Chains A and B, each alone.
Chain A
C-alpha cells in the first residue's frame, strides 16, 4: 500500500460515516439473511419512504448542533405548523399550488424559530433550556389556543402524499410499493443545506460558532446573527417536515409526532454530529436517520419479538451513539492538527 492510499484509508477510518455505513450494511445483510425480504424492490422503496421525514428533521437538528446549540422544540413547531396549515387548507378547500401550504407552514416554522432565536441570542441563555420551554409553549398553543384535534389531511395534502414517482413491484410476491414524490422535498432540503454549509460564509460561520464562539467572533463572524438564522432555519425545516408528514400519512396526527424529538437527535448524533458543536456532516445525518429507520422498520422481518422491540431500538441508540462519541473523542485526542491544538491550549 503506497503512502497516498494509506493516508486515504486512514482518513476514511477516522470518519464516523464510514462506521455507520458498515453498521447499515451489516444490519441490511442480517435482515436479508433472516427474512430474504430486505433487498426486494418494494422493501427498499418502503425504507426510503419511511426515512424521508426523519431525514428532514435530522438535517434541521444537524444545523443547530453544528452551531453548538440544541433545539428540543422542532417537533412541536412541526406539529403546530402542520396543524394550522392543514386546518387552513381544509377550511378554505384550497386547491391551488402545492407551494402554498409549504410557504404557510414554513412561515409558521420560521416565526416559531424566531421566538427561540430572539430569546437565545438576546439573553444568551442555554439553548436546551430555552427550547425546552418554548416546546411546551408551542404544544400549549396547539392544545389550548387552537384546541387541536386530529384531522384527516386536506385534499391538496392528500394529493401530495399519494403522488408517486414510480411503483416498485416484488416479482415473487407481487407486492407493490409507491415511491412518494415527497422524496424530492428531501433532496431539495439536502441540496440547499449542503450548499449553505459548504459554500456560503454563513455556513462556515455556523461551523465556526459551534467550534468556538469566541474565536468566531474575533474572526469577524456575527455570532448573534448566525444563531438567529440557525433557529429560523430549523423552524423552516420543521414546518416543511410537518406538511410532508401530513401528506404522507394522509392525516394531521400530531400526538404521535410529539415526543419523537429525542429519537431524531439521537439519530443525528449517531450520524456523527457532535453535541458540543462544530462537527457533523449531512451525509452522516442522512445515514444516521436511515439506520434508525431501517432498524425500526425491520424488527418484524429480523424476527425480534414484539416484547423486545423497544429494548432493541434503545440498545441500538446507546451503542451507536456510544461508538460515535468514542470515535470523536479518540480523533480529538489523537489527531489534532497543529492549529487545532493551539486553539485548544489557548482556550
Chain B
C-alpha cells in the first residue's frame, strides 16, 4: 500500500514540475480583458435576465464567462442600457463558473431558444468552435469579443487595437521618463497573445519615436508575472537589482502595475522609476494617490459590450459594417476595421485612470 502511494506521489510530483511549464499554455486564449476581469473577480452580479419591452424585434443574447465576476456585473449594466436605448430584447447569461464546457451548454440553450444573435466572450475559442458553428448553421449571427482567433463568427469587436494600445502605453511612459532611459516590459506569460501584442507594440513605438530610450537586453526585456501580484512585485525587485539604471516598466496584466508600484515604493525609488500599463482602479488607488503611479489604463466593459450588441443589431438591421460606424458608446464612435481580416473590428475604448478621475469612471473594480 505504502509503495503504491509512494509511486502515485512520485508521479504527482513530476506532474507538478511539468504542470508548472504547461499551465501557461492553457491560458493562451487571447483574452484582452480576461486577465483584468479574472483578477478583479466577483461581486454578486445582478441576475442576467433583464429584457426591456421589445420593439426592434430582435432577440440578442450576451454570453459572459461567469455570473459572479464584478467585470460581468458591469457588462450586464451595458446590456441593460442597450435594451433600454434600443428597445431590443437583450439579456446576459453565463455559466456558473469560468468553464468552457459549461459555456458551450449555455450557447446550446440559446440555439434552442432561437435568438437572432449571440454576442459572446468565449472562454476558450477552440472549445466553443463547434457550438458556435452550429449556431451559425441555425441562422444565428455570432459576435465575439476578446477572441480574434475564433473561426465561427460574423464579427469580432475588440475594445481597442493592440498596436494603438501599446503605443499609448509607451507614449505615457516616455513622457514620464523624459523620453530617455532603460525600460522593460512585463506580461502574465510569454504565451499570452494579447499581453505580448501590447508589449510588442509598445516596443515598436519606442523604436520609432523615442531613440534615447532603450529596452533591456536579451530575454529580460520581457518578464513574466504569472498573472500574480506577488510575483510581479518580486520580479520587479529582481529587475531593479540586476539593472541599476532601469527607469521604466510597462505592465500588461492587471497584476503587473500594482506589483511593480509596491516594489518601487519599497526600494525607495518612487519618482526615479516609472511605470504604466493596464490597471484596475481598486488595485492602484493607493499608488495613484501616493504619486508612484501617474496613470494606468483600462476599458469600461459596459461600453465595450454595449458597442458589441449595437454592432450585432446594426448587422441584423442590414447595415454594412464599415470603418467609422458609430456604435453609440464612449470610445466606440468610430469603428476601425482590421487591415488583414475584415471580420475583426476595433474601438478605442481604453481610458487613462489618474488620481483625479478615479472616482468618476462609472466603474470601480
B6→A46 contact, CB < 8 A: no
- In the bound assembly, the distance between CA atoms of A298 and B5 in angstroms comes to 34
- A147-B43, A275-B5 known; A173+B244 contact, CB < 8 A: yes
Contacts of B16-48 to chain A: CB distance below 8 A: 16-21, 23-24, 38-44
- In the bound assembly, the distance between CA atoms of A143 and B23 in angstroms comes to 21
- In the bound assembly, the distance between CA atoms of A306 and B23 in angstroms comes to 15
Tell me the minimal C-beta distance from B277 to chain A in angstroms. Answer: 17
Q: Which residues of A contact B267 (CB under 8 A)?
A: 42, 175-177
Q: A317 near B: Cβ within 8 Å?
A: yes
Scoring B40, B222, B239, B283 by chain A CB atoms within 10 A of each residue's CB, the highest score goes to B283
Scoring B2, B23, B268, B282 by chain A CB atoms within 10 A of each residue's CB, the highest score goes to B268
- In the bound assembly, the distance between CA atoms of A63 and B143 in angstroms comes to 53
- In the bound assembly, the distance between CA atoms of A50 and B222 in angstroms comes to 22
Q: Which residues of A contact B39 (CB under 8 A)?
A: 150, 253, 255
- In the bound assembly, the distance between CA atoms of A148 and B266 in angstroms comes to 29
Q: B13 near A: Cβ within 8 Å?
A: yes
Q: A249 near B: Cβ within 8 Å?
A: yes
Interface window among A96-104, A192-200, A224-232, A308-316: A308-316
Q: Which residues of B contact A256 (CB under 8 A)?
A: 226-231, 255
A152→B282 contact, CB < 8 A: yes
A43→B13 contact, CB < 8 A: no
- A249-B230, A251-B229 known; A263+B223 contact, CB < 8 A: no
- In the bound assembly, the distance between CA atoms of A259 and B22 in angstroms comes to 13
Contacts of B60-81 to chain A: CB distance below 8 A: 68-70
- In the bound assembly, the distance between CA atoms of A147 and B43 in angstroms comes to 7
- In the bound assembly, the distance between CA atoms of A317 and B255 in angstroms comes to 26
Q: Which residues of A contact B224 (CB under 8 A)?
A: 306, 309
Q: Which residues of A contact B268 (CB under 8 A)?
A: 174-176
B69→A149 contact, CB < 8 A: yes
Q: A37 near B: Cβ within 8 Å?
A: yes
B42→A301 contact, CB < 8 A: no
Number of residues of chain B lying within 8 A (CB) of chain A? 62
B14→A318 contact, CB < 8 A: yes
Q: A187 near B: Cβ within 8 Å?
A: no
Q: B220 near A: Cβ within 8 Å?
A: yes
B266→A177 contact, CB < 8 A: yes
B240→A147 contact, CB < 8 A: no
Q: Report the interface size class on chain A.
A: 35 or more
Q: A62 near B: Cβ within 8 Å?
A: no
Q: Which residues of B contact A128 (CB under 8 A)?
A: 5, 8-9
Q: Which residues of A contact B23 (CB under 8 A)?
A: 259
Tell me the minimal C-beta distance from B339 to chain A in angstroms. Answer: 30
Show 28 residue pairs from A and B whose CB-CB distance is below 8 angstroms, ordered by the A residue.
A37-B241, A70-B9, A143-B42, A148-B41, A149-B42, A150-B41, A176-B266, A177-B266, A245-B230, A251-B258, A253-B228, A253-B230, A256-B228, A263-B16, A266-B13, A266-B17, A269-B13, A275-B9, A276-B2, A276-B5, A299-B238, A300-B223, A307-B219, A311-B21, A314-B17, A317-B13, A317-B17, A318-B17
- Taking beta carbons and an 8 Å cutoff, which residues of B are in contact with A? 2, 5-6, 8-10, 12-21, 23-24, 38-44, 68-70, 96-97, 190, 218-220, 222-224, 226-231, 233-235, 237-242, 244, 255, 258, 262, 266-269, 282-283
- Taking beta carbons and an 8 Å cutoff, which residues of A are in contact with B? 35, 37, 40, 42-43, 46, 50, 70, 126, 128, 143-144, 147-152, 170, 173-178, 245, 249-251, 253, 255-256, 259, 262-263, 265-266, 269, 275-276, 296-301, 303, 305-307, 309-311, 313-315, 317-318, 321, 325
